[in-house]
Amino acid sequence: MTTLTAPPETTRRRSGLMGQLRERGVYLAVAALFVFNLVFTANFATPDTLRLQLIQAVPIIIVALGMALVIGTEGIDLSVGAIMALAAAVIPLYLGYGVLPAIGMALLVGIGVGLLNGLMVAVVGLQPIIATLAVLVGGRGLALVMADGKLTELFDPTLSALGYGKVFGVPLAVLLTVVLVIMVGFVMRRTLLGRQLVAVGGNRKASLLAGVPVRRTLFAVYALSGLLAAIAGVVLTARTGAANPAYIGLEFELFAITAVVVGGTPLTGGRVRILGTVMGAMLMQLVSTTLVSHNLMDSDRRIVTALIIIGAVALHQARRRSS
Amino acid sequence: TQTAEAPPAPAPSDAGQQVQSTSGDDCTYENYGGTGVEKIDLATATIGFAQSEREANPFRSAETQSIKDEAEARGIKLIATNAQGDLNKEISDIQSMLAQGVDALIISPLKSEGLDPALDAAKEQGVPIFTIDRLLTSKDACVDYIGWVGSDFVEQGRRAAEAMNRVTGGEAKAITLLGAAGVNVTTDRNAGYREWIDANAPGIEIVAEQAGDFDRQKGQTVTEQLLAAHPDITAIYAHNDEMALGAVAALKAAGRSPGDVKIITIDGTQGAVQGIIDGWISGVIESNPRFGPLSFQALEDFYSGKGVPAVQIISDKEYTPENAEAELVNAY
Amino acid sequence: MVKSDLAPRGSGAKHDLALEVREVSKHFGGVTALDNVSFSLAPGEVRALIGENGAGKSTLIKVMTGVYRPDAGELRYLGERVELHTPRDAQDAGISTIYQEINLAPQMSAARNLYLGREPRTRLGLVDVRRMVSDAREVLSQFGVYVDPRTSLRELGMGVQQMVAVARAVTTDARVVIMDEPTSSLEPREVDRLFAVIRALRDSGVGVVYVSHKLDEVFAICDSITVLRDGKRVHDGPAAELDRLGLVGHMLGRSPEELRSAAPSRRTPVPHDSEVPALLNVQGLHRRHVLHDVSLQVRSGEVVGLAGLLGSRRSETVKAIFGALPVETGSVHIDGVELAPVTPARALAAGLALLPEDRKLEGIIPDQSIKENIVLAALPRLSRAGVVSDARRDELVEVFMRRLRIKAASPNQKVRELSGGNQQKVLLARLLCLQPRVLLLDEPTRGIDVGAKEEVRALIDELADAGLGVVLISSELEELADGADHVVVLQDGRVAGELSAGHISEGEIMTIIAHHDDQQSQVGS
Amino acid sequence: MTDRTAVAAAGSVPGPPIHDDADRRADRRDRAVALVRRSGAVVMLAVTLVAGTAGFGLNFVHPNNLLYTVAAGSAFLALVAIGMTFVIITGGIDLSVGAVLAMSAVIAAWASAQWGGIVGISFALGAAGLVGLGQGVLISMFRLPPFIVTLAGMQFARGIAFKVTDEGNQTVLIGDIGWLRWLGRGTVLGIPVPVLIALIAFAIGSLVLARTRTGQVVFAIGGSPDAASLMGLPVRRVTTSVYVWSALLAGMAGVLIAARSSTGEPTAGYGMELQAIAAVVIGGALLTGGAGKMSGTLAGVALLAVIQNLINQVGTLSQYFQDVVSGGFLLGVVLLQAGLARRRRSP
Ligand SMILES: Nc1ncnc2c1ncn2[C@@H]1O[C@H](COP(=O)(O)OP(=O)(O)OP(=O)(O)O)[C@@H](O)[C@H]1O
Ligand SMILES: Nc1ncnc2c1ncn2[C@@H]1O[C@H](COP(=O)(O)OP(=O)(O)OP(=O)(O)O)[C@@H](O)[C@H]1O
Ligand SMILES: [Mg+2]
Ligand SMILES: [Mg+2]
């Protein structure tokens, strides 16, 4: 998708705190919402509530990390929700062999579907949105066929530890997420893959002529996205204590894309903001908490969400017009 | 689907739907639509079934399964569609089944209104329709459809309120986990509940109503958020069992103990009835989805000339801590 | 805002100046692109706007055409002060522009591009496609382009695209036509056609602003010259009063004496010796409708020129060698080892590097920094176990920015913000930091200023002396005549002839082309 | 200089490339492939129709099925997809269409119940147009990414739909307005009215796209908005209007859906944005903009509808398996098209 790329006139000036904040509108929005809740939401400033914000944001953060990489290559991955469902459907099938093999299988399925996406995008040359849309439709169907459409209760101590366990008061799932964020951040900042994927997103033709292994990069990126979605599926399943392929990850593709874009990664590719993505997910979490805490209706919630999305994106797209 | 060797396990005798009350004239193939329709032999007929919502909801999946099982048990050919919550698709689905030449239809309408084009088409082709679950309010029995069998969702809400009043002793700060927005079930279950509470239980304060979309995960997330905002709540009314189980998970995670917060829910799934046994849930109002036997019985009566009543309301049970253990086998 | 009835075109209203810019300044963040620049253009005048890469020429043009709003200063058109908010305002007023990078819709046909926004319409108000196509065919043929106007632009070479852009700009009823490097991808033959057009415009009273780095052209066609240096106007006067050296002096800010003493000496040609084994050996490249049995050899230390007219498939030839264009038959050997199948990655690994012709589409990654752009191809070499060493990267970037004298605020500046010439240098740096053995350079001096051009030429010489093989494509024949040891002339995707050291001259090359043309089309001259 | 002028004077047209036999054969094959490819969706549609007829015979081809079920059921998607085609050709995307459809349906029902059909339709289209205008302005003037703007628009419009129906608790029924019902359910010469309206919209859409200046600008914007703006084209105006039209068409579909079922559903059109995008892409449009055809879109819509119909015809597939089949079908269609495209690109 092309946005109207502004003529060079719109160069950002990165000077001063205000400039920084404008550049990173999402940080400002998160901060504002946080302060709002501190003041107006009862019981918000308690450790439990704050911890809850993190825990509940975990699945979206994890999925959005993968999505950010895909978007960096000027792609999109609509299949993440379906991959979560597939991961959830696989767990009970293999739980008989032990919890680790079951989780392993779930992650393998995620990678596998990711590779399939990669195949269609990189080798066949399909448009990412349509390739992954097909997987979105078919993948969840497959998950439901595997699970016979049913929710399966899971009673496994290791799984519930993943959902509810804590280390030094920090939930395991949050720790896992921190590790993942650092890893993906490292990939983006320091590795060949990170550099090459933004190059592919910035100008695919030029990258090809500069010897960037475009196909391999795309494969890797979609596989990573699939893997991360599967991890999110496992974590969410662990937290629910039940594999529920019908509902798990519904609309997660849209949440994740929103988190990524609100976080400052352009859909036109060529740039990836990892911390911004995390912030984007946190913003959505805070919006949800705020609205639920103040008992807003579904319709209000949608309207407010719309305004906040526009506000956050507008903030960091706001550019100085040279007068 | 089941294999030929293993016929559907007969449900425990009182798990099937029981008719609580019937009313209306008896409808047969001879007087249907004023002029009557062609008599067919049910055994060789093709019946179409239009499901309204995604079967991800246990209620829906049990409903569809029950219809399929009954058709198979009777050796009747069945074609099934699912509108996935889209009224327009349900119209197309029904028309598509008509185009395939079904002899009669069983419809679970998505809405009480709005299926007119499909109903008209069926009438034109002389295909009778039996409706289940949701009543077509602006249509007439034995004119536009044979008859209807279903639960009264408003009544379910009232009974949930009654149960809530009983288990909390009439004093509670309660929250409600609503079903998906824009769905009749949600509206009715909430309307009945509020109506009863407003009239009879001044001590029960509803501090928040939030949508959990009939989903366990969503129910859990919302309950967690509401618990954080209102740590003092003492009761939860969930529009279905899945959300109630999500609420249980949230309570567990928040370190609450069973019975701290009273939960009343509707449906009657195994998990929820087990929840009563475990002490987390205080009561379940049953909503029986097993429409298969009654629906096909109605078609049989229709064609045999015995006649079908316009309205059959089924009696829904209530699971309580007293009967939960014994009734667990009947839950779906 | 200019009202279109402000000056009915062709009416008697006479103005001394068609377009005037008074004391305009323009800043981009910390960079001052224009500093108090004044500029004027009379009707019927052809004025050259000259300056080094990054001097501010394109910026001035964008200020004059409503793309940028100036930070200070004013714009006058036909004697009245105007404010242009969008390029459309400028166009409606009668200022027609060919921007530096070709700005057309590449996926649309040549005809549609030519008439975009002013398509001929039928009585019903619908676009009259048939007329549009036949008109386009007619117009394009006047510009020496004989293509099917229904072909999408993308499938035509840069040269044709450039001609379409020119045709589009001059076929409007404009009073001012601005051309920012219109000849950068044109052949001598097309340049002459363009000049004929410019003269016709001048004769009908249209003012023309002409930007080019090719000084010959400037003296051939321009009446007056404005020179910019570092965003300031440093010279303004009739062309007749200036000679070549003086002009370069103004551009670079050095006296003619200094320049004369600094004139580079050319390298002595390397003989195209068939005894010596070839470093790059290309045999029988064939692709239906495109390439027909193209073979060439490059030896270590040799510069092989590829000459030919617009669309003679020079670009396609090097792309095929590099593996960026699939071929049906043919082989590529490097140092006797065959690359099979050829892919860009494999070619790079074997020491082959390609500088693409279309800088914008195939070269730069506009939103990334200079730094990232330079090291893109070298990344695998800068990394161990998949982790890139930033220290080594910065070192490399510094070396090449200095060596190629890339003018930028910092290595972290986005490439999109650089002037065209500096973008080209960034791409050259990308290749050079790979330490390649054979360079395929497709128009390496396109759009870069005289100073930089000399630098690049010297660089090519230097690289060849260091033992590299070079394939050089250039639309400037003198560049081939001076710099190449051997020239392969292409025509319609086949080798029309070859010239060896000592026999290479512009005239010889043109003779081969003309001769081949005759054979092919049996059209006598 | 003298050399150059001399040659220029000789200036001859480059001769046609010389062919050999293999080349000529390859050319013929290419032309055939190109034809199939250019109308890939149409070809796929034909194949599916033949397969459907072979599999289900008269039940499938009977007008009761093809005209009253398939066509009548997909007329709404067709309307939405026409707007989406314009949007996608400009390189944008409109995720709000399904929600705008629901919003318009609800408003149409609500307002016409109170003030009559004319007011109902005007309110519905007015609201849709406003949402479209808002989105268009944010995208074209403030340069916000279309994906995210229309994602927000989707939430917004859906929110309004729920607001009007009191969170979906209220069923808004269109009163007994004969002509309004006719719009949704009537037939003209045996053709359902919504199908007729969709066909007319399609004809107008094709004409605008292929034969008006605005249509040309739409393509140019998709190729490169910067270049289009430098060419002096009205980029902002056309970009804005494309989103307005997309919303208006979705609104029109909403009105027709309300008229068809006599009620406005806040949950209507759920997921329709993705279906519309799929139809447009199957029809040959590029999401990067600059390419697309109205006829392709129509074929894409028909293809999706026929696939769904075939799945219904089988009738015994479990719902989940239906999803697997439609996902597989979608993939098969695009893979086939891609396969054809590749054969043409590389020799
Ligand atoms: N959008 C922008 N943001 C930041 N700097 C810019 C931008 N556009 C131009 N500049 C800077 O302004 C200066 C003038 O650039 P301009 O493109 O006008 O040069 P030019 O004379 O046209 O050069 P060339 O001959 O290479 O085309 C350069 O230093 C360039 O880096
Ligand atoms: N004057 C012309 N008449 C017809 N077709 C032309 C003309 N010039 C170029 N073309 C077309 O343009 C394309 C040029 O290909 P290519 O880029 O390989 O040529 P080139 O020799 O590098 O020329 P250029 O200087 O345009 O890059 C071909 O598709 C050819 O059909
Ligand atoms: Mg320039
Ligand atoms: Mg070329």
Q: Average pLDDT of C449-469?
A: 84
Cβ of A141 within 8 Å of Cβ of D327? The answer is yes
CATH at A311: 1.10.3470
* Residue D146 identity (one-letter amino acid): P
- From C21, C27, C31, give the residue whose CB has the most ligand 1 atoms within 8 Å, as the site to mutate: C31
Q: Tell me, yes or no, whether A1 lies in a domain.
A: no
Tokens of A156: 């496994």
List A residues 156-215 in contact with C (Cβ-Cβ < 8 A). 190-193, 195-196, 198-199, 202-203, 205-213
Q: Tens digit of pLDDT for each residue in C149-193?
A: 988 888 887 788 888 998 998 888 889 999 998 887 787 788 888
pTM comes to 0.85
Tally Cβ neighbours within 10 Å of residue A321.
9
| Band (D198; pLDDT cuts 50, 70, 90) | very high
Q: Tens digit of pLDDT for each residue in C348-360?
A: 888 899 999 888 8
Percent of chain C topping pLDDT 70: 92
The larger pLDDT score, comparing residue B49 to residue A167, is at: B49
Q: Tell me, yes or no, whether A90 lies in a domain.
A: yes
Q: Note whether C440 and C391 are same-domain residues.
A: no
Q: Tell me, yes or no, whether A192 lies in a domain.
A: yes
Note the helical H segments in chain A. Answer: 16-23, 25-40, 47-72, 80-94, 99-118, 128-146, 157-164, 172-190, 192-202, 204-209, 214-240, 252-262, 274-293, 298-317
Single residue among C391, C419, C435 that ends a domain in this structure: C435
Q: State the smallest CA–CA distance between residue A258 and chain D in angstroms.
A: 7
Q: State the smallest CA–CA distance between residue A171 and chain D in angstroms.
A: 32
Beta-bridged to residue B150, according to DSSP, are: B313
The pLDDT score that the predictor gives to residue C471 is: 93
pLDDT at C288 over 90: no
Q: Note whether C325 and C373 are same-domain residues.
A: no
Interface test with C, best of A123, A209, A272, A322 (most C CBs within 10 A): A209
Listed in sequence order, the residues at least 6 apart from C254 whose beta carbon sits closer than 8 Å to its beta carbon are: none
Interface test with A, best of D138, D156, D319 (most A CBs within 10 A): D156
The pLDDT score that the predictor gives to residue A315 is: 73
Q: Note whether C335 and C286 are same-domain residues.
A: yes
List A residues 106-145 in contact with D (Cβ-Cβ < 8 A). 120, 124-127, 129-131, 133-142, 144-145
Cβ of C328 within 8 Å of Cβ of D347? The answer is yes
Closest by Cβ to C361, choosing from A196, A205, A212: A205
pLDDT at A125 over 60: yes
Average predicted confidence (pLDDT) for chain A: 86
pLDDT at D12 over 50: no
| Complex ipTM | 0.83
Q: Average pLDDT of B65-94?
A: 88
- From C153, C156, C287, give the residue whose CB has the most ligand 2 atoms within 8 Å, as the site to mutate: C156
Q: Tens digit of pLDDT for each residue in C28-73?
A: 877 788 999 999 999 999 999 998 888 889 999 999 998 999 999 9
Tokens of B46: 């093709």
Contact C188/D at CB under 8 A: yes
Sign of CA dihedral C93, C62, C179, D228: negative
Residue whose CA is closest, atom 16 of ligand 1? Answer: C56
Of how many residues is chain B composed? 332
pLDDT at D315 over 90: no
The pLDDT score that the predictor gives to residue C370 is: 93
Q: Tens digit of pLDDT for each residue in C97-143?
A: 998 877 888 888 999 999 988 888 888 889 999 999 999 999 998 88
Q: Tell me, yes or no, whether C221 lies in a domain.
A: no
Cα–chain center distance at B156: 10
Note the helical H segments in D141-267. Answer: 146-164, 178-185, 193-211, 213-223, 225-230, 235-261
Average predicted confidence (pLDDT) for chain D: 83
The pLDDT score that the predictor gives to residue B176 is: 95
Q: Average pLDDT of A226-238?
A: 95
The pLDDT score that the predictor gives to residue C343 is: 85
D82, D283 contact by CB (below 8 A): no
Q: What are phi and psi of C389, to 5 degrees?
A: -90, 115
The larger pLDDT score, comparing residue D333 to residue D136, is at: D136
The pLDDT score that the predictor gives to residue C346 is: 86
Tokens of B35: 């002029």
| Band (D154; pLDDT cuts 50, 70, 90) | very high
Q: Tens digit of pLDDT for each residue in A143-159?
A: 988 988 778 888 888 88
Q: D38-345 has which fold?
A: ABC transporter involved in vitamin B12 uptake, BtuC (1.10.3470)
Each domain of chain D, given as residue ranges in start order, spans 38-345
- From C109, C140, C285, C310, give the residue whose CB has the most ligand 2 atoms within 8 Å, as the site to mutate: C310
Distance between CA atoms of B32 and B27, rounded to whole angstroms? 6
C376, A208 contact by CB (below 8 A): no
Q: Note whether C413 and C394 are same-domain residues.
A: yes
Listed in sequence order, the residues at least 6 apart from D55 whose beta carbon sits closer than 8 Å to its beta carbon are: D310, D313
Q: How far away, in angstroms, is C230 Cα from ligand 4 center?
A: 31
The larger pLDDT score, comparing residue D85 to residue D35, is at: D85
Q: How far away, in angstroms, is D226 Cα from ligand 1 center?
A: 17
Q: How far away, in angstroms, is C311 Cα from ligand 4 center?
A: 7
Residue C54 Cβ contacting ligand 1 at under 6 Å: yes
The pLDDT score that the predictor gives to residue D36 is: 65
Q: Note whether C342 and C450 are same-domain residues.
A: yes
- Is the preceding peptide bond at B289 cis, omega within 30 degrees of 0? no
Q: For ligand 2, which residues put their CB under 6 angstroms from it?
A: C 145-147, 155-160, 185, 308, 310-316, 357, 475; D 14
Average predicted confidence (pLDDT) for chain B: 85
Q: Tens digit of pLDDT for each residue in B249-278?
A: 999 888 888 988 999 999 888 889 999 999
C180, C186 contact by CB (below 8 A): no
Q: Element (H or E) spanning A79, and its range?
A: none
Residue whose CA is closest, atom 3 of ligand 1? Answer: C417
Tally Cβ neighbours within 10 Å of residue A18.
10
Q: Tell me, yes or no, whether A31 lies in a domain.
A: no
Cβ of A240 within 8 Å of Cβ of B224? The answer is no
Instruction: Supply the range of the domain harboring residue A171.
Output: 49-315
Least Cα distance to D253 among D146, D147, D139, D94 occurs for D94
Q: State the smallest CA–CA distance between residue D346 and chain C in angstroms.
A: 7
Q: Tell me, yes or no, whether C139 lies in a domain.
A: no
Q: Note whether C387 and C522 are same-domain residues.
A: no
Q: For residue B217, what is the nearest residue in chain A, using CA coordinates?
A: A240
Distance between CA atoms of D222 and A178, rounded to whole angstroms? 40
Listed in sequence order, the residues at least 6 apart from A312 whose beta carbon sits closer than 8 Å to its beta carbon are: A25, A26, A29, A262, A280, A283
Chains touching B by CB (3 or more pairs below 8 Å)? A, D
Residue A11 Cβ contacting ligand 1 at under 6 Å: yes
Sheet of strand C224-229, all strands in order from the earlier edge strand to the far edge: C95-98, C176-180, C207-211, C46-51, C224-229, C232-238
Note the helical H segments in chain B. Answer: 58-73, 87-99, 116-124, 153-168, 184-200, 216-229, 241-253, 270-278, 292-304, 324-327
The larger pLDDT score, comparing residue C2 to residue C456, is at: C456
Q: Tell me, yes or no, whether C219 lies in a domain.
A: no
Q: Note whether C460 and C516 are same-domain residues.
A: yes
Q: How far away, in angstroms, is C514 Cα from ligand 4 center?
A: 19
Cβ of C348 within 8 Å of Cβ of A198? The answer is no
Q: Tell me, yes or no, whether C343 lies in a domain.
A: yes
Number of domains observed in the structure of chain A: 1
The pLDDT score that the predictor gives to residue D2 is: 34
Show residues of chain C in contact with A192, CB under 8 Å. 379-380, 383, 386-388
The pLDDT score that the predictor gives to residue A3 is: 35
Cα–chain center distance at A50: 20
The larger pLDDT score, comparing residue D171 to residue B246, is at: B246
Show residues of chain B in contact with A60, CB under 8 Å. none
| Band (B5; pLDDT cuts 50, 70, 90) | very low
pLDDT at A238 over 70: yes
Listed in sequence order, the residues at least 6 apart from D18 whose beta carbon sits closer than 8 Å to its beta carbon are: C292
CATH at C455: 3.40.50.300
Q: Tell me, yes or no, whether C28 lies in a domain.
A: no
Number of domains observed in the structure of chain C: 2
The pLDDT score that the predictor gives to residue B180 is: 83
Q: Note whether C397 and C525 are same-domain residues.
A: no
pLDDT at A124 over 80: yes
Listed in sequence order, the residues at least 6 apart from A310 whose beta carbon sits closer than 8 Å to its beta carbon are: D138, D144, D148, D149, D152
Q: Note whether C334 and C375 are same-domain residues.
A: no
Number of H helices and E strands in chain D, helices first, is 16, 4
Sheet of strand B311-315, all strands in order from the earlier edge strand to the far edge: B18-23, B311-315, B148-150, B129-132, B104-107, B46-51, B77-82
Q: Which atom of ligand 2 is nearest to the CA of C146?
A: 3
Q: How far away, in angstroms, is C226 Cα from ligand 3 center?
A: 14
Q: Average pLDDT of A235-253?
A: 90
Q: For residue B122, what is the nearest residue in chain D, using CA coordinates?
A: D64
Q: Tens digit of pLDDT for each residue in D218-251?
A: 999 998 888 898 888 999 999 999 999 999 999 9
Interface residues of chain A, partner chain B, Cβ below 8 Å: 41-44, 46, 48-49, 52, 56, 144, 149-151, 153, 164, 236, 239-242, 244, 246-248, 250, 288-289, 292-293, 295, 298-299
Ion ligand 3 — residues with CB under 5 Å? C 58, 100, 420
Residue whose CA is closest, atom 10 of ligand 2? Answer: C311
Show residues of chain B in contact with D319, CB under 8 Å. 51, 54-55, 64, 80, 82, 84
The pLDDT score that the predictor gives to residue C1 is: 36
Instruction: Supply the range of the domain harboring residue C344.
Output: 266-351+436-525
A84, A248 contact by CB (below 8 A): yes
Least Cα distance to C231 among C253, C209, C210 occurs for C253
Cα separation values, C477 from B295, C188, C507, C510, D284, Å: 89, 8, 9, 9, 43
Q: Note whether C416 and C451 are same-domain residues.
A: no
The pLDDT score that the predictor gives to residue D263 is: 86
Cβ of B210 within 8 Å of Cβ of A293? The answer is no
Contact B100/D at CB under 8 A: yes
The larger pLDDT score, comparing residue D6 to residue C270, is at: C270
Closest by Cβ to A1, choosing from D93, D324, D330: D93
Q: How far away, in angstroms, is C419 Cα from ligand 2 center?
A: 26
Q: For residue D288, what is the nearest residue in chain C, using CA coordinates?
A: C107
The larger pLDDT score, comparing residue B330 to residue A131, is at: A131
| Band (B17; pLDDT cuts 50, 70, 90) | low
Chains touching D by CB (3 or more pairs below 8 Å)? A, B, C
